[in-house]
A and B are shown apart, each in its own frame.
Chain A
Amino acid sequence: MKDELKLHKKQQEKSGVSRRDFLKTLTGTAAGIGISQVFNPAVVAALEAGLKNHPVLWIQGQGCSGCSVSLLNNVEPTIADVLLKVISLQYHPTVMASEGETALENLYKIAKQEKGRFSLVVEGAIPTAAKGKYCICGELGHKEITMVDMTKELGEMAGSVLAVGTCAAYGGIPAAKGSVTGAVGVTELFKKYGIKTPVVNIPGCPIHPDWVVGSIVHLLTKGIPELDADGRPVIFFGENIHENCPRLDALDNDIMSKTLSDPEGCRMDLGCAGPDTYADCYKRKWNTGINWCVDNAVCIGCVEPGFPDSSSPFYVAK
């Protein structure tokens, strides 16, 4: 507990956000509010003034768009405010109006114009087998652009990279046992090609919108947040789910859930991956703070670098 408090203080000093705000951040949705509450309205106003045009290029590899869809669930500021006021989302395959060459020409134009300044967001894994053919992102001048090409080229030009979701961070499901596509996350690809641009991993299958909005705002206002050994921001991924689980008392009293629909008890006998998982879901919860995996069934450890193989089989006691 003492160590945690120290961590809070360190984060606070590093970020310059007021202590009161930071405590609010760290207590997450205890009162039904997300991290983004911290930045609203005063910080949003500041962002509007100072960072209105910060260019963000969002590219997609082997993914399911689930992280993009999850981001749309952001509460405060609303996703409309994030899109229209906080960032300038110049490229996003699921959202943008343009398509084909119009879209790709704009992508590379902005990347050149804003070299070293723009943030690149990568969603989905990057397949390296078969010369990258397992994911084609577009065609420019009759030439196919693979996800490998696109991530390398834009990654080198970006000021920072956010690897959004477990696929982009660590390979995730496309890289699971049995895969033939050579799927990797951004950090591994960068390592292979000697690309030095800093990467912030925001894992999760999918991400929690607060984790992404919070990290982007931190990046834009204060720089790279403190990261753990797996490249994740400590403010969101610094705590063990099991050790902080509201059901920990049940375990201490030997009350174990008997089935997945048992509303009571600790889920460890059912395969809960909480003891091996570091994220703040236990207090932040999901979808405007109304539920989370452990209350509903079990944690499957979706934010961990080895997911899914590190926790699969999901329903067998670890």
Chain B
Amino acid sequence: MAGCKPQSEPAGSGKKIKIAIDPITRIEGHLKAEVEVKGGVVVDAKIYGGMYRGFEQILTGRDPRDAPQITQRICGVCPTAHAQASSLALDDAFGVKVTDNGRIARNLILGANFLQSHILHFYHLAALDYVNGPDVAPFIPRYENNDVRLDKATNAVGVNQYLEALEMRKICHEMVALLGGKMPHVQGVVVGGATEIPTAKILNEYAKRFKVIKKFVEEKYLPLVYLLAGPYGDLLKCGVGHKNCIAFGVFPLDAAGNTLLKAGAYTDGKFSSFDPDKIKEDVKHSFFKDSTTGLNPKVGKTLTDPEKSTAYSFIKSPRYDGKPHEAGPLARVWITNPALSKAGQAVFGTNAKVRDIGDAAFSILGRHVARAEETLVVANAVEQWLQEAKPGKETLVPAEIPKSAEGLGLSEAPRGALLHYVDIKNSVISNYQITSATIWNANPRDDKGIRGPMEEALVGVPVPDPKNPVNVGRLIRSFDP
């Protein structure tokens, strides 16, 4: 068994064994994990980000209004999050105030993408760590001992839901496209608001689809995640990490900037309000010029150095208040602390909230629970926005490109905190900086040598069988990189 509590010590357990997994699959992008195992447990870990495209360099010199289109191509799973953060940065730089209907249209676009992304992540990226697919490609080959512990009937439920979820996520994309034009990569989110004024017909089509999704989340997704806690209960006890959280806030509820999921930080057991000036990005272990280390994104530079000998990743190491922080659904719901779903309250008690999960939230399975719970929080809010949207009312305000201005866009992608910063000079982009979700989680050691959040969370994860390091992939995927 390759679970969190090894039944027996493997042979040669006194020696350190190095295991590399490359590629880590069922993620978005390219990652490699390298772990050192001693006594059946990970004692050190490195996460390598193996791909670089250079969006920040490509954006330089362009018409600022192109940024929401270009930056969406960072991630095909969560493009609308980049559209949102980029448009917020431009709204700030252009000095425009988005209308209520524009804000709501953007929320309905991003909200449907959150629902799609969380469903896709759990079922199509993560579930094969816990459920055996049919015995055909791409579900085989798999690890010889893949530690899937479900009985035949439960496994069949998992496979059926995997297939049903394919349809669910497609329906979520239709919801996005109704207001966004198409998905992936929407046209509808721009500086000044949203381009598609919702009609009664569009809202009706959206609502019809949404009903199906909400039912699936309540009746299938949440119960299945909690059901895994039975056979995989030990996975609620490993993968803790630094236990620091960062959230920038997402889904604006009013013009004042209050958000559904709140901005904040949780550092060494203490909650604090979020201050973007406390972000610094280290690059000692990243393939970027050493002269650019320790900068806040507002003065950030992106200059690659692919041959740098101290580096092992194309990911920078952002730190908040000097410390690594994890981002994502767990960070958001830990900071916002909403009430749990019915399925959650059945486990943690009537009126229980997210923080009542306690330490178990900071674990492999805890991150899945947090994501599923957040899906319902977003679904409930979508229901509200559908009521608030005003058919036929303007969603876009005119916006002129400023000659010289800067703008900051703070939002959240389904997988975590997202920052876009734009500096405009001579009416074109002179600097653009992005600190995205996976950069927060999958970063390498910082200049002080402190491991990134995912690296730290790997420490202590049991790998009783080095030939089948199942829990390494499980841990990494729990962050949804």
Contact A316 B53 (CB under 8 A): no
Asked if B184 is an interface residue, CB under 8 A from chain A, the answer is yes
- Tell me if B450 counts as interface (CB < 8 A to partner A): no
Residues of chain B lying within 8 A (CB to CB) of residue A96: 25-26, 137-139
The residue from B24, B69, B178 contacting A314, defined by CB atoms under 8 A apart: B69
User: Which of the listed residues A103, A125, A316 has the most CB atoms from chain B within 10 Å of its own CB?
Assistant: A103
Task: Note all chain B residues with C-beta closer than 8 A to A138.
Answer: 22-23, 32
Task: Check: A180 CB closer than 8 A to any chain B CB.
Answer: yes
Known A80-B166, A100-B21; judge A69-B77 contact (CB<8 A).
yes
Tell me the complex Cα distance, A296–B173, Å.
15
Looking at chain B's contact residues, is the secondary structure mostly helix, strand, loop, or mixed?
loop
- Chain B residue numbers with a CB within 8 Å of A80 are 163, 166
Cα A313 to Cα B68 in complex, Å, equals 12
Indicate whether A98 reaches chain B with its CB closer than 8 angstroms.
yes
Which DSSP category, helix, strand, loop or mixed, fits chain A's interface?
A: loop
Q: Are A178 and B138 in contact, CB atoms less than 8 angstroms apart?
A: no
What's the Cα separation between A84 and B134 when bound, in Å? 9
Q: How far is the CB of A276 from chain B (nearest CB, A)?
A: 16
Among B65, B76, B124, B394, point to the contact of A95 (Cβ < 8 A).
Answer: B124
Contact A98 B142 (CB under 8 A): yes
Residues of B within 8 A of A173 (CB): 53, 55, 58, 70, 73
Q: Contacts of A75 on B, CB cut-off 8 Å?
A: 170
* Chain B positions 91 through 133: 1 when the CB is less than 8 Å from some CB of chain A, otherwise 0: 0000000000000000000000000000010001100100001
A139 and B182 contact, CB distance less than 8 A: no
Q: Does A72 contact B (CB under 8 A)?
A: yes
The one of A103, A176, A292 in contact with B182, judged by C-beta atoms closer than 8 angstroms, is: A292
CA distance A92 to B27 in the complex (A): 11
- On whether the beta carbons of A288 and B174 are closer than 8 Å, the reply is yes
CB-CB under 8 A from B143, the residues of chain A are 98, 102
Of the stretches A10-18, A57-65, A225-233, A236-244, the one at the interface is: A57-65
A 65-86 binary contact with B (CB < 8 Å = 1; else 0): 1111110110100111001100
- Select A206's contact among B20, B174, B180, B185, beta carbons within 8 Å: B185
Are B51 and A313 interface neighbours, CB within 8 A?
no
How many contacts A-B (CB < 8 Å)?
258
CA distance A98 to B396 in the complex (A): 46
A139 to B169, CA, bound (A): 32
Interface code A127-140, partner B: CB below 8 Å = 1, 0 otherwise? Answer: 10110011111110
Per-position binary interface string of chain A over residues 143-181, scored 1 when its CB falls under 8 Å from any chain B CB and 0 otherwise: 010000000000000000000000000001110111111
Total interface residues in chain B, CB < 8 Å: 87
Tell whether A62 pairs with B193 under 8 Å between CB atoms, given A259-B398, A292-B181: no
Within the complex, the shortest CB–CB distance from B415 to chain A, in Å, comes to: 13
- Contacting pair A297 B138 (CB below 8 A): no
Tell me if B27 and A72 are in contact (CB < 8 A).
no
Nearest residue (CB) in A for B136 is A84
- CB <8 Å contact, A64 and B138: no
Bound CA–CA A287/B124 (angstroms): 19
The stretch of B194-202, B256-264, B273-281, B365-373 in contact with A is B194-202
Q: Report chain B residues within 8 Å CB of A287.
A: 170, 173-174, 176-177, 182-183
How far does the Cβ of B64 sit from chain A's closest Cβ, in whole Å? 9
Judge if A286 is at the interface, Cβ distance under 8 Å: yes
* Cα-based distance from A298 to B188 in the complex (angstroms): 9
- Per-residue contact bits, chain B 75-91, to A (CB 8 Å; 1 contact, 0 not): 11101000000000000
In the bound assembly, the distance between CA atoms of A174 and B188 in angstroms comes to 23
Query: Within 8 Å CB of B196, what residues of A?
Result: 261, 291, 296-297
In the complex, what's the smallest C-beta–C-beta distance from A210 to chain B, in angstroms? 13
B359 interfacial contact with A, CB 8 Å: no
Nearest-neighbour CB distance to chain B for A189, whole angstroms, equals 17
Per-position binary interface string of chain B over residues 376-408, scored 1 when its CB falls under 8 Å from any chain A CB and 0 otherwise: 000000000000000000111010000000000
CA A260 – CA B16 in complex, angstroms?
60
Most chain B beta carbons < 10 A, residue from A129, A174, A316: A174
For the complex, is A293 an interface residue (Cβ under 8 Å from B)? yes
Q: Which residues on the A side are within 8 Å of B306 (C-beta)?
A: 129-130, 133-134
CB of B167 within 8 A of CB of A78, answer: yes
B76 and A139 within 8 A (CB): no
Q: Is the CB of A176 within 8 A of B58?
A: yes
Q: Contacting A73 at CB < 8 Å: which of B79, B134, B173?
A: B173
Does B74 lie at the interface of the complex (its beta carbon under 8 Å from any beta carbon of A)?
Answer: yes
A291 touches B63 (CB 8 A): no
Within the complex, which residue of B26, B178, B398 is in contact with A290, where a contact is CB–CB below 8 Å?
B178
Binding site for A on B (CB under 8 A): 20-30, 32, 48, 50-55, 57-63, 65-66, 69-70, 73-77, 79, 120, 124-125, 128, 133-134, 136-143, 163, 166-167, 169-170, 173-174, 176-188, 190, 193-197, 205, 287, 304, 306-307, 314, 394-396, 398, 473
What are 18 A-B interface contacts by the 8 Å CB criterion?
Answer: A62-B51, A65-B28, A65-B75, A66-B76, A66-B79, A80-B163, A89-B138, A92-B138, A94-B125, A95-B124, A97-B141, A103-B25, A136-B51, A144-B22, A181-B53, A206-B185, A263-B197, A313-B63
Complex A-B, nearest 7 residue pairs according to Cβ-Cβ distance, in ascending order: A66-B76, A296-B181, A313-B63, A136-B50, A286-B182, A287-B177, A297-B187
Given A205-B73, A206-B184, A296-B186, 20 other A-B contacts at CB below 8 A?
A64-B184, A65-B77, A69-B76, A69-B77, A88-B137, A94-B28, A97-B128, A133-B287, A133-B306, A136-B51, A137-B30, A173-B55, A178-B61, A259-B398, A261-B195, A261-B394, A312-B63, A312-B66, A314-B65, A316-B63
